[in-house]
């Protein structure tokens, strides 16, 4: 199957340019039309950005706004989760990077959460979290920290805990523990490397590799990419987001593994639509396009009224890469 066999039915660029969101228009013109646009720093002065930045705490984190379950995780660990969410908004939607001093503060906060082993720990209590470790690394790489020693240390750790099949898992899941049991256990559990990979976890880990200009070339990443593509629209091997329907539940910025985030990473790792699984994913998205050019998908996470445009932009970027 050739990449030419999969094309969007409707050109979505007109609706992206007319959506009345200057940030969406900026990235549409830059990434899809290849136009010369102003400095991304212009977006940093938007009221929505300044409102977010105003709430940053002194240690570089953001306070989790919802009700916390102290029997599950500490206030500090909830704040780490919220800081990850906020960092995604700032970097993915407004292009903030390490040239902004508050992004530097956020990066230093996350580096303080990195252990001597190399993982970023806290969101799963004292358990290893290749999901959020790699997702945090992805954002920091996009913010300009690709050559930082903390990022290199993080990749060494990720490569050290691969499963025998070349993918990744949440380590405590291989021993049958549930989330609450794991969070209350202060002893981090190593994975049973003989167990099969999780596509949820492998997809999140590969986002860090895909974001990095050097590590995306690694053979380990290519091998894991083959595994991820082979699991499109199938149920996971582990309890977390196990149902195959989670492939169709998308978000932006990317959070868990879904069809868009997986296709995005695989495009950066060098995969093409000649791969039958990639073709299947692209064809799925084509069939979900509405007459207005947007996409009929289950969008989860976030209250941004413009999420449908951000999702559309993310899809257009990956179709551009796949030709």
Q: Is 166 exposed, middle or buried (0-12, 13-18, 19+ CB in 10 A)?
A: middle
Closest listed residue to residue 308, CA positions, set 261, 250, 265, 264: 250
Domains in the chain: boundaries: 3-321
Distances (CA, A) of 228 to 124, 167, 281: 23, 8, 12
In which residue ranges of the chain is pLDDT below 50? 1-4
Q: Is 71 exposed, middle or buried (0-12, 13-18, 19+ CB in 10 A)?
A: exposed
pLDDT in tens, 62-112: 999 988 777 677 888 899 999 999 999 999 999 999 999 999 999 999 999
* Residue located via tokens 């309890």: 239
Q: How far apart are alpha carbons 223 and 188 in whole angstroms?
A: 27
pLDDT in tens, 218-258: 999 999 999 999 999 999 999 998 999 999 999 999 999 99
Buried residues in 214-242 as b, exposed as e (16+ CB within 10 A): ebbeeeebbebbebbbebbeeebbbeebe
Tell me what pLDDT residue 5 has.
Answer: 59
In this structure, what token pair is assigned to residue 311? 């999702």
Pick the CATH number of 3-321 from 1.10.3470, 1.50.10, 3.40.50, 1.10.1060: 1.50.10
* Helices within the chain (DSSP H only): 13-17, 22-27, 47-54, 75-94, 101-112, 130-140, 149-160, 179-184, 199-211, 219-230, 259-268, 276-287, 307-321
Task: Reduce the DSSP state of residue 295 to 3 states and report it.
Answer: strand
Q: How far apart are alpha carbons 271 and 187 in whole angstroms?
A: 38
Q: Is 125 exposed, middle or buried (0-12, 13-18, 19+ CB in 10 A)?
A: buried
Q: How far apart are alpha carbons 171 and 189 in whole angstroms?
A: 6
Tell me what pLDDT residue 281 has.
Answer: 97
Tell me what pLDDT residue 70 has.
Answer: 73
Task: Reduce the DSSP state of residue 225 to 3 states and report it.
Answer: helix
């Amino acid at each position: 199957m050739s990449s030419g066999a999969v094309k969007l039915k409707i050109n979505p660029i007109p609706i992206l340019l007319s959506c009345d969101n200057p940030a969406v228009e900026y990235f549409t013109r830059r990434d899809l039309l290849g136009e010369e646009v102003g400095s991304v720093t212009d977006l940093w002065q938007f009221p929505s950005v300044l409102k977010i930045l105003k709430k940053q705490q002194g240690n570089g984190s953001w306070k989790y706004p919802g009700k916390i379950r102290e029997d599950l995780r500490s206030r500090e660990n909830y704040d780490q989760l919220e800081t990850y969410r906020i960092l995604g908004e700032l970097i993915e939607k407004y292009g903030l990077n390490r040239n902004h001093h508050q992004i530097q503060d956020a990066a230093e906060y996350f580096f303080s959460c990195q252990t001597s082993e190399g993982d970023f720990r806290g969101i799963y209590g004292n358990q290893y979290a290749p999901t959020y470790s790699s997702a945090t690394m992805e954002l920091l790489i996009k913010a300009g920290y690709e050559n930082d020693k903390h990022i290199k240390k993080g990749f060494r750790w990720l490569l050290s805990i691969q499963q025998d099949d070349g993918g990744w898992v949440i380590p405590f899941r291989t021993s049958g523990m549930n989330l609450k049991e794991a969070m209350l256990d202060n002893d981090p559990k190593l994975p049973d490397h003989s167990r099969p990979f999780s596509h949820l976890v492998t997809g999140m880990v590969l986002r860090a590799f895909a974001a990095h200009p050097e590590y995306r070339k690694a053979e380990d990443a290519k091998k894991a990419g083959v595994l991820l593509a082979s699991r499109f629209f199938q149920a996971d091997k582990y309890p977390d987001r196990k149902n195959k329907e989670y492939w169709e539940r998308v978000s932006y910025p990317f959070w868990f593994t879904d069809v868009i985030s997986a296709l995005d990473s695989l495009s950066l790792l060098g995969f093409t639509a000649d791969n039958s699984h990639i073709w299947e994913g692209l064809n799925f998205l084509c069939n979900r396009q509405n007459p207005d050019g947007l996409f009929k998908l289950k969008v989860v996470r976030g209250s941004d009224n413009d999420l449908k445009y951000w999702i559309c932009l993310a899809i257009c970027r990956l179709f551009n890469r796949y030709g």
